[in-house]
Structure 1
Amino acid sequence: MRNFDGHATLLFGILIGLALGLIVGMWSPPSTFEVPEACQGQEFWCWLNDWQTLVSAIVAVAATLMAATIAWFAVQAQIAVTHLPADQTKLVLDNFLEEFLQEVNQAWRFLEVALDHNYSEERKFTALNIACAEVDSSFQSSNILDCSEMLTDLLPAQKHAYEQVFISLRRIKTELERKRSDDDPEKGYGLSAQLFAIQLSHLVKYLEQANHTLAEVFSEREKYDVDHTLSWHSSKKRADIQLEKWADELSKQQA
């Protein structure tokens, strides 16, 4: 609908421009107010001869604008064709991710119990291990990380956003595998409940940048306020503090 509106606006503007050009041309004073004797009975052809330069210019402008319009439509059609595979890939990718994230969301409910100080240590330990086992199992059954191969078909901005999502997923999977006790299953996972919640909170942040609809899967979960500020902001803050400190020292020495 937006493309249709844009096309209609462009054509309407072209037509208005041509109409105004014709009106201005018709209202311009002729070179003479008297009809020459040679033009008696052939006023129209004489008028056309007087205005042939203007008419030729208007026709030329109209032809140029029409050619530009056709070219613009062709470019828009090419852009639409280019975007189509990326949009289809993104749709499929979002479907796979949503199914996986729904399972993670259920595991996060147990993680919230593990973070609740009102429960006993034994109950929190059990809840944490259920949460870790559920997410670990989802990684193994869904093979969600294999979907990262689809990123090559996305547009550059989409690709960058989804790459961050898969990087976050790989970190979570690696941490679960590292903390899983294969030697003694009763020991469960040696992963901190708080660290696990922070990793999941980072995942939600990346999902918000890629597709806020996917992030809404975790709308009811208690998330940590993680910071995704660009690294140069931290460098600037450190520099501001240090330079302000030196400026104060210099002021005191000069006082």
Structure 2
Amino acid sequence: MLIDSHCHLDFPDFADDLDGIVARAAASGVGRMVTISTRVRRLPELLAIAERFPNVYCSVGTHPHHVDEEDGISADELVALAQHPKVVAFGEAGLDYFYEHGARDAQERGFREHISAARATGLPLVIHTREADADCGKILADEMGKGAFRAVLHCYTGGRDLAMQAIDLGLSISFTGILTFKKSQSLRDLAAELPADRVMVETDAPYLAPGKYRGKRNEPAYVVETAKVLAEIRGVTLDEITRQTTENFFRLFGKVPAPTATA
């Protein structure tokens, strides 16, 4: 069983096809999906989807693109919202200096509040970081010094230094279809050397369709294409990378119930 640890089933791209999306994922061996929050205030929309499908779970959080509209949401509020049984993580939160859609100080405030929520609950934080390696690394080190928390750097495209720092801090790294792109050799080189117990796969659907689906709408069923490439570059079978990434997911996302065989 594969896991799509990060998708966006509440996005308009899927509005008319949710049943088909979930059915195709199951037919492709995708046993769990986590639909990731980008705005805390839209959590009810994610919960409606997660409650509709037994194998779909969700997070709660504010994407750095939207921090200006949700500046001031506290760790306590996040913790309260995470009491729902289908909310299994915080985020995605972090830093994005590529688009600069949110003020940097607001991005940092939000990032730290999400970390506080993760620390308080033991639930993982899904981290979005783009073109902000140095600041992201500083915040992670500073916050880890205040007390341990669990997190994954999702859709990783950053440098080796941040990745290795994250590994040293006990965090995980997740890869999308970008891993399959022709120009992503440096990313594949990095993915090949990471510890086996820290890697995961995701789609970030509807974006970043891998391999033969490039340019089309992405969906959770396609996570297998990323898993195939990850297996190839790490010199293991698809069955082995499926087992390892799935075990890694359930270890990190402990609130998601694992099948008996995996547990």
TM range (shorter): under 0.3
Bigger Cα Rg: 1
- Select the structure that is richer in helix: 1
TM-score, length basis structure 1: 0.22
TM-score, length basis structure 2: 0.21
Structure showing greater relative contact order (alpha-carbon pairs closer than 8 Å, 6 or more residues apart): 2
